[in-house]
Amino acid sequence: MKKDMNTNDLLLADLTKKASEIITKLKRHEVNSLVPNNEQLIKFEGISLDYSRQLINHKILTSLTKLDQLKNFKKKVTGLLSGKEMALHTVFRQGEVGLIDEGTDTWKRIEKQFFMVQELCKKLENGEKTGWTNDRFENVIFLGLGGSMIPQKFVHKALKNKYQTSRLKFGFFSNPDGLDLCEYLMSCNARTTFFVLQSKSLKTPEIFFLFDYARKWLHDHGCSKEGEFSHFSVVTSNPKSAKAKGFPNDHIFEIPEKLGGRFSIWSAMGLSLALMADKENFDSFRIGAKNMDQHFYKATVLQNLPIIMALISVWNRTFLNFTTQLIVNYSSALDNLVPYLQQLEMESLGKSINKEGVRVSYPTSGIIWGGSGFDAQHAYFQLLHQGTDIVPTTFVEVLEDKAETNNLSVSSYTKENIRAQADALAMGSPLDGFDGNRPSSIISINGVSPYNLGALMALMEHKVFVQSVFWNLNCFDQPGVELGKQLLSSKVSNFNEEL
């Protein structure tokens, strides 16, 4: 044991020394002296990562994997993929014969839920399910907040142009002031509009402000209170409360309490995708995630996408003390990627108390920010190239299939543009006062398909999990969010009872 501790101390000392040397060179403005020369590229199916412009090499990565923080790592991954690591999201995409365990009672319950989802989709699509006037529905509006909404909006925006097969129109609303919802409803017919409430606890006041707006709108257009629930469905882990509020049994989709909101799109919380696309595409989305699970479980460390991405983030944050991470995407389909990653990373890893309840002595999650790459280049890239803070940047590109794109010149321009920006950040221009040494990675996706999107989201989930293991954090809770809810509850203690 003593030998192991000494080995770990030596590794930490060596890594700290390397980090200190890099920081010293950065402070001395030694232009582009730190950029690795070797190509560092790993790939799994339709997703690849080029991290050759990061301030890291294979030796540092290997040393990081040998630290005590990652002891018993394989066991923890096994627990995650079998639904035993405080979360169930991976089980929802495993199928009856999962990656770790075979057919369980949990899967049987999941299968029943998916059957209910497909039945609702079929009945809404073919007009079998109707509202109070027996007219078939034309619009489906989702009301939710946080983890019950952000991933859904990301997926819907990413896939709707190429993969929507439904005749239905869709809307997504979160703000309890109701302004956006009311504006949208002006173009809807109350007789043909269906609402889906998405709330894990069914105790979130914001959701019920929106619920009340929707009910009042139906009533104002002639719907009776007896007929209103033919226009509503709910996804929740609190079916008892849903029944008490009047939702019929076949309109209640129960998810497990153990399924975290920001990880819940693989369940009935992904109803928007199941409705928008057909069953084949919904299944392909989950299969892409399942295959990324397998890659995470089986690939060697230096060829493992989630592990490498996580260790780069740990190196940049904990050892090099970079405080933020920029994500820039170069496809309109991925316009909602940054909000999705902001919640996934900062809600999961934005913590200073470890699993044992002890305050940590090292930096954890940095601030995630970003947006559209083309806009960013003409807005805040000046700061990236020449500002006083170094901001690690991740470029996300979509490589369009030649047979599917109508504008190869734009596709080629985008690809070269990203690499020009990445090279400029890395190499700088000494005569013009650009030091370089600004780290970046490029994530390339071979088309935004349900399969590739599922794989990408699973990749990001696993990246967060690896970081949580390294930092000894519980990435499946959100005590800061809960504290805010408790304080609100104490100020308006009777609010939920009035809803």
Question: What residues are labeled active site?
Answer: 347, 378, 485
- What DSSP string describes 202-261? S--HHHHHHHHHHHHHHHHTT--TTTGGGGEEEEES-HHHHHHHT--GGGEEE--TTS-G
Residues 186 and 54: their CA atoms lie apart, in Å, by 50
Q: Identity (one letter) of the amino acid at 466? A: V
Bridge-based pairing state of the strands 324-329 and 367-372 = parallel
Let me know: does 370 contact 376? Beta carbons within 8 Å. yes
- Looking up tokens 């907040």 gives 145
- The total of other beta-carbon atoms located within 10 Å of residue 324's CB is 16
The gap from C-alpha 326 to its chain's centroid, in whole angstroms, comes to 15
Structure-derived torsion over alpha carbons of residues 79, 80, 84, 87, reported in degrees to the nearest 10: 170
Burial class (CB in 10 A: 0-12, 13-18, 19+), 227: middle
What are the residues whose beta carbons fall under 8 Å from the beta carbon of 65, sequence distance 6 or more? 301, 307, 311
The span from the CA of 186 to the CA of 139, in Å, is 12
Name the residue with tokens 């990203």. Answer: 418
Indicate the residue type of 358. Answer: V
d(CA 221, CA 473): 50
The residue whose two tokens read 């627990």 is 79
- Proportion of the chain in helix, strand, coil states, percent, rounded to 5: 55, 15, 30
Q: Which residues contact 244 (CB under 8 A, 6 or more apart)?
A: none
Query: How far is 85 from 71, CA to CA, in rounded Å?
Result: 16
Question: Which residue type sits at 428?
Answer: G
Structure-block tokens of residue 474 = 């519980």
146 SS3 class: helix
DSSP 3-state assignment of 414?
helix
What are the structure tokens assigned to 116, written together? Answer: 């209910």
Rounded Cα distance between 217 and 212, Å, is 8
Instruction: Outline where 127-171 has alpha helix (H).
Output: 150-163
**85 and 76 Cβ atoms separated by less than 8 Å:** yes
